[in-house]
Amino acid sequence: MNYTGYETSYTSYGAGGGAGGGFIPGDGSQTSPSGRKDYSQDTLRPVTIKQILDAQQPTEDVFKIDGANISQLTFVAQIRNISTQVTNITYKVDDGTGSIEVKLWVDTDAAEQPNSNKPKLVENAYCRVWGKLKSYNNKKHVGAHIIRPVEDYNEISYHLLEATAVHLYFTRGPPGGATGGGAVNGGYGQQTQTGGYDGGSVALPSLQGVSPMAKKVYELMRTSPQTNEGLHQQEIAARLGVDTSEVARAGDDLLSAGVIYTTVDDQTWAILETD
């Protein structure tokens, strides 16, 4: 990715900023015996805004997502509003899972000598944010270290996939390993040993008149981790252990009922959220 004009060592998701490649789980900053804060245990975690808003706060300065402490975080979102103050710039951003305010404190010395080569942040543009989760008056916001425009739109999809992979690491365990985390039962649902899906355990009064298969498809979509693009019918068929033609007919029922909608193509669906 292009980081021109945004000097930063956060070019990977390793501990301690740019040291090492790949995501390294950890418990955040630790205090050494000397009383000084040890930043070598800091981690940079890709997240969605919904994960930020749902983060638990066991103590004033500690936040947890999927049971793991969060020190630094990063996400990609679209700028909805920019409010410039004397001491900071507040960006209202939205990534499709939720919206949150991002505050970037102004360096007055740097502000006096603007860099005309630096890409501009404007409303409706996508941006990448690095920062720390904070809370004031029970309202969460992100204190940004760096915020820059997204110049390659593949970064949006890449980030959502990466955030999903890290979420699954904490809730289901490493690939090929034992199932972990307490959120698994609320993840992919209960699968039988033959690869089928035990649907029908959730009452769906809004789906009266649709087929039993459509109810199973809807329940799986409700309980499966996914990106903003939703799930493809082939993936749904694989999880249910049924033929794709059955899923296609079920999808037609759900589309007619107005409870799902197509996203990137006619075979990829997402749940229509209702308040």
The string of pLDDT tens digits covering residues 106-125 is: 876 655 555 556 678 999 99
Interval 238-260 mean pLDDT: 87
d(CA 247, CA 181): 30
Pairing of strands 72-84, 44-46: parallel
Residues 196, 132, single domain; the answer is: no
Which residue, 105, 137, 156, sits at the end of a domain? 156
Domain membership of residue 169 (yes or no) is no
Q: Give the highest mean pLDDT range of 32-46, 89-103, 116-130.
A: 89-103
Residues 125, 227, single domain; the answer is: no
Residues 82, 122, single domain; the answer is: yes
Domain membership of residue 216 (yes or no) is yes
| Residue 180's pLDDT band (cuts 50, 70, 90) | very low
CA-based angle 247:251:254, to the nearest 5? 140
Interval 174-196 mean pLDDT: 43
Domain membership of residue 66 (yes or no) is yes
Domain membership of residue 221 (yes or no) is yes
| Residue 159's pLDDT band (cuts 50, 70, 90) | very high
Domain membership of residue 178 (yes or no) is no
**Contact (Cβ atoms closer than 8 angstroms) between residue 221 and residue 269:** yes
Q: Is the model more confident about 51 or about 192?
A: 51
Domain membership of residue 175 (yes or no) is no
Residues 121, 203, single domain; the answer is: no
Q: How many helices (H) and strands (E) does the chain have?
A: 6, 14
Q: What are phi and psi of 184, to 5 degrees?
A: -65, -40
Domain membership of residue 180 (yes or no) is no
Q: Per DSSP, what are the bridge partners of residue 38? A: 30
Distances (CA, A) of 81 to 121, 220, 243: 11, 35, 46
Residue 215 predicted with pLDDT over 80:
yes
Residues 260, 220, single domain; the answer is: yes
Residues 150, 206, single domain; the answer is: no
Residues 112, 199, single domain; the answer is: no
d(CA 235, CA 106): 46
Is 244 strand, coil or helix? helix
Say which range, 183-187, 202-206, 265-269, 271-275, has the weakest mean pLDDT: 183-187
Q: Per this entry, what is the length of the chain?
A: 275
> Any idea what the CATH number is for the domain that residue 252 is in?
1.10.10.10
Q: Please name the helix (run of DSSP H) or strand (run of DSSP E) that holds residue 62, with its range, or none.
A: strand 62-65
pLDDT at 137: 85
40-54 confidence digits (pLDDT tens):
456 789 999 999 999
pLDDT at 273: 66
pLDDT at 209: 77
Q: Which domain holds residue 148?
A: 44-156
Interval 212-231 mean pLDDT: 85
> Any idea what the CATH number is for the domain that residue 100 is in?
2.40.50.140
pLDDT at 29: 43
| Count of CB atoms situated within 10 Å of the CB of 68 | 18
Residue 188 predicted with pLDDT over 50:
no
Q: Is the model more confident about 173 or about 70?
A: 70
Chain-wide mean pLDDT for the chain?
74
Which residue, 135, 156, 177, sits at the end of a domain? 156
Residue 242 predicted with pLDDT over 80:
yes
Strand order in the sheet with 268-271: 231-232, 268-271, 260-262
**Contact (Cβ atoms closer than 8 angstroms) between residue 26 and residue 17:** no
**Contact (Cβ atoms closer than 8 angstroms) between residue 147 and residue 127:** yes
194-208 confidence digits (pLDDT tens):
333 344 334 444 677
pLDDT at 176: 65
Residues 151, 53, single domain; the answer is: yes
Domain membership of residue 252 (yes or no) is yes
Which residue, 104, 132, 156, sits at the end of a domain? 156
For the chain, the domain total comes to 2
